[in-house]
């Protein structure tokens, strides 16, 4: 499966967004603690970040302890990851689609993926790819934008590029039961789920999130193969 027209458009949109992309919005308060609790990497662990973006998840992993690969469609987001992580020697970067990973089966012991699935048309393909490159007994942590929030904000993202033009990045609403069905079909087991909601503290930090208060923000999945 090659890169689709939609994926090329998504990559182009994130290329334009990369210089101003804020990867420290309040949603990070919800998924990063879950990641740290459930990924459980070990010394010399082979870790894959599916849709690594600016390297937000990669920054949670200490230097030199693991062998890490970050994959993303957007070359400019990968460039930001390299810049923010200081060209760490333990991290390699690959520009590729999360629905067509260029790795051999069972290449990774741990996989993480944050806020990527809403840009994926086929969640079945996403989880099949994840399962294929994960070793037996391996763990994965996946954070998805919750459909409840998407129904409030819309599934698409509109950003203003540094060239002062508006760019729309297409998104998809995937219901929770659909995501869980795709997980099971890929031969993965759900160990832990969480659906954290937007809190008043988050709204205080971002007043424009007031309409989201109390709504489930993310679906967090800890998976085992």
pLDDT of 162 reads 61
Query: What CATH number is associated with residue 197?
Result: 3.40.50.150
Who's near 116: CB < 8 A, 6+ residues apart?
A: 50, 51, 98, 126, 144
Which residues does the chain have with pLDDT short of 70? 1-3, 159-164
pLDDT of 52 reads 95
pTM of the model: 0.92
Instruction: Name the residue range of residue 211's domain.
Output: 5-224
Who's near 52: CB < 8 A, 6+ residues apart?
A: 58, 70, 71, 72, 77, 78, 81, 93
pLDDT of 1 reads 43
Do residues 44 and 66 touch, judged by C-beta distance below 8 A? Answer: yes
pLDDT of 92 reads 96
| pLDDT digit string, tens, across residues 102-152 | 999 999 999 999 999 999 999 999 999 999 999 999 999 999 999 999 999
Count of domains for the chain: 1
């Amino acid at each position: 499966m090659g890169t689709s027209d939609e994926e090329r458009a998504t990559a182009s949109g994130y290329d334009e967004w990369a210089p101003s992309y804020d990867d420290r919005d309040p949603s990070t308060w919800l998924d990063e603690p879950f990641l740290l609790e459930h990924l459980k990497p070990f010394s010399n662990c082979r870790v894959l970040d599916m849709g690594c973006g600016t390297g937000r998840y990669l920054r949670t992993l200490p230097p030199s302890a693991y062998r890490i690969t970050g994959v993303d469609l957007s070359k400019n987001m990968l460039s930001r990851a390299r810049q923010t992580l200081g060209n760490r020697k333990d991290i390699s970067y690959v520009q590729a689609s999360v629905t067509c990973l260029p790795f051999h089966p069972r290449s990774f012991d741990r996989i993480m993926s944050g806020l990527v699935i809403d840009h994926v048309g086929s969640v079945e393909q996403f989880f099949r790819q994840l399962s294929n490159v994960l070793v037996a007994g391996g763990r994965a942590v996946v954070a998805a934008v919750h459909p409840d929030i998407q129904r409030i904000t819309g599934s698409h993202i509109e950003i203003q590029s540094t060239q002062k033009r508006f760019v729309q990045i297409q998104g998809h609403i995937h219901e929770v039961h659909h995501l869980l069905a795709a997980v099971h079909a890929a031969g993965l087991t759900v160990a832990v789920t969480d659906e954290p909601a937007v809190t008043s503290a988050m709204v205080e930090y971002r007043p424009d999130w007031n309409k989201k208060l109390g709504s489930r923000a993310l679906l967090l999945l800890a998976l085992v193969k």
